Amino acid sequence: MAKVQLRNISKSYESGSNAVKDINFDVEDKEFVVLVGPSGCGKSTILRMIAGLEEITSGELFIDDKKVNDLSPKDRNIAMVFQNYALYPHMTVYENMAFGLKLRKFSKEETRQRVSEAARILELEPYLERKPKALSGGQRQRVAVGRAIVRKPKVFLFDEPLSNLDAKMRVQMRTEISRLHKQLEATMIYVTHDQTEAMTMGNKIVVIKDGVINQIASPLDLYNFPSNKFVAGFIGSPAMNFLKGKIVDENGLRFISDGNSLNLNLVSILDDKLKEYLNKKVYLGIRPEDIYDETNKQQISSNEEITVELEVVEPMGNEIYLYFFIESVQFVARIPARSVPKHGSAKKLFFDLSKLHFFDAGTETAIR
Ligand code: ADP
């Protein structure tokens, strides 16, 4: 297996679009790295440059310390699994998996061994003689993965491989790919726009927006310490709530929202960085799960009470989502499913002050 390093990599398409800018990250041997970001942010472009399917405009790409910018795709020993599976419809599952080896002139025996091994790992043995059209979406995706496995590549690349599957199958394939990663001890780079996929699968996540890396971190660090407002809002579902306001000193630090309807005492937050923002504009951020109601507020040590009018109430079974407005900004809170409050009713809620996030209102970078 192998490590991959990207150094100052940029890509401009002929149409003039600057798809990715100054990309730097390392993928260690046996690591599972996820590239995540909204559609059009440049994830596939980065993956395709690693595969050699797209020319690198500037910067350097290394595989196992060897510069491979000018190496053709077939000489990079990388296998890519695509969103649309790209199976040959007239070939059986066996033939589809064997095809790449045949092209590379592997012996019949070696081919048979490798395909059997991949079919065993992916539990495709009963389907080897079937054509793709007689398979479910999940099975087709496994064949596409099998075709990559038989080549024993240095690096596996996955480009949104689960997008065409239904929700249940996606969850199942997610765990299968994670298991496969451990079993094969392979280096894998996985592209998705789905933050849940990124959080559950990656050891290391690279968050990209508009062709620029915004943060590289472990799932929990991304969640707890987002580097800016974009990452904070992108990671986590439902998304973090934001409200603009300023930090003031009125017998201690307070956050006062622009419309004055939220006034939070920040004395319990001992943070020198926050003091530097005295009388400056900031965004307050709070995750839906850090807002409590009377039934569970005893779990938090320092809180501020607010009373809101419930706009929408969504009982999810295991919990309830409450939607309400603060100064025409919609907020959502996740509370335990005890009794379902009525929409339109007033409700006391409690912000966990230890979990507040703050962002510079201009640069949107995290203050704490
Ligand atoms: P993602 O995979 O994150 O959805 P892409 O890497 O496919 O994003 O695209 C990044 C940007 O580059 C987009 O603005 C897209 O329109 C542009 N782009 C992608 N492929 C081409 C191409 N072949 N020619 C011109 N522009 C392209």
pLDDT tens digits in sequence order for the chain, 368 residues long: 599 999 999 999 988 789 999 999 999 999 999 999 999 999 999 999 999 999 999 999 999 999 999 999 989 999 999 888 789 999 999 999 999 999 989 999 999 999 999 999 888 999 999 999 999 988 998 999 999 999 999 999 999 988 888 888 889 889 989 999 999 899 999 999 999 999 999 999 999 999 999 999 999 999 999 999 999 999 999 999 999 999 999 888 999 999 999 999 988 876 778 889 999 999 999 999 999 998 888 888 877 899 999 999 999 999 999 999 999 999 999 999 887 888 888 999 999 999 999 999 999 999 97
Expressed in angstroms and rounded, the spacing between residue 339 Cα and the centre of ligand 1 is 47
Q: Does the CB atom of residue 19 touch ligand 1 within 6 A?
A: yes
- Nearest residue (by CA) to ligand 1, atom 14, is 40
- Nearest residue (by CA) to ligand 1, atom 6, is 42
Q: How far apart are CA 174 and CA 152, in angstroms?
A: 21
Indicate which atom in ligand 1 lies nearest the CA of residue 44. Answer: 2
Expressed in angstroms and rounded, the spacing between residue 342 Cα and the centre of ligand 1 is 46
Q: Does the CB atom of residue 163 touch ligand 1 within 6 A?
A: no
Q: Does the CB atom of residue 15 touch ligand 1 within 6 A?
A: yes
- Nearest residue (by CA) to ligand 1, atom 17, is 19
Expressed in angstroms and rounded, the spacing between residue 5 Cα and the centre of ligand 1 is 21
Expressed in angstroms and rounded, the spacing between residue 149 Cα and the centre of ligand 1 is 27
Tokens of 199: 């959080």
Q: How far apart are CA 199 and CA 16, in angstroms?
A: 33
**Which residues in 242-280 are b (16+ Cβ under 10 Å) and which e?**
bbebbbeeeeebbbbbeeeebebebeebeeeebeebeee
Expressed in angstroms and rounded, the spacing between residue 61 Cα and the centre of ligand 1 is 19
pLDDT of residue 298: 84
* Residue 335 contacts residue 348 (beta carbons within 8 Å): no
Residue 208: strand, helix, or coil: strand
| Most ligand 1 atoms within 8 A of CB, residue of 45, 190, 209, 210 to mutate | 45
- Nearest residue (by CA) to ligand 1, atom 27, is 13
Q: How far apart are CA 45 and CA 128, in angstroms?
A: 33
CB-neighbour burial class of residue 107 (10 A; exposed 0-12, middle 13-18, buried 19+): exposed
* Residue 336 contacts residue 295 (beta carbons within 8 Å): yes
* Residue 215 contacts residue 207 (beta carbons within 8 Å): yes
Q: Does the CB atom of residue 20 touch ligand 1 within 6 A?
A: no
pTM of the predicted model as reported, rounded to 2 decimal places:
0.93
pLDDT of residue 66: 95
DSSP 8-class letter at 38: S
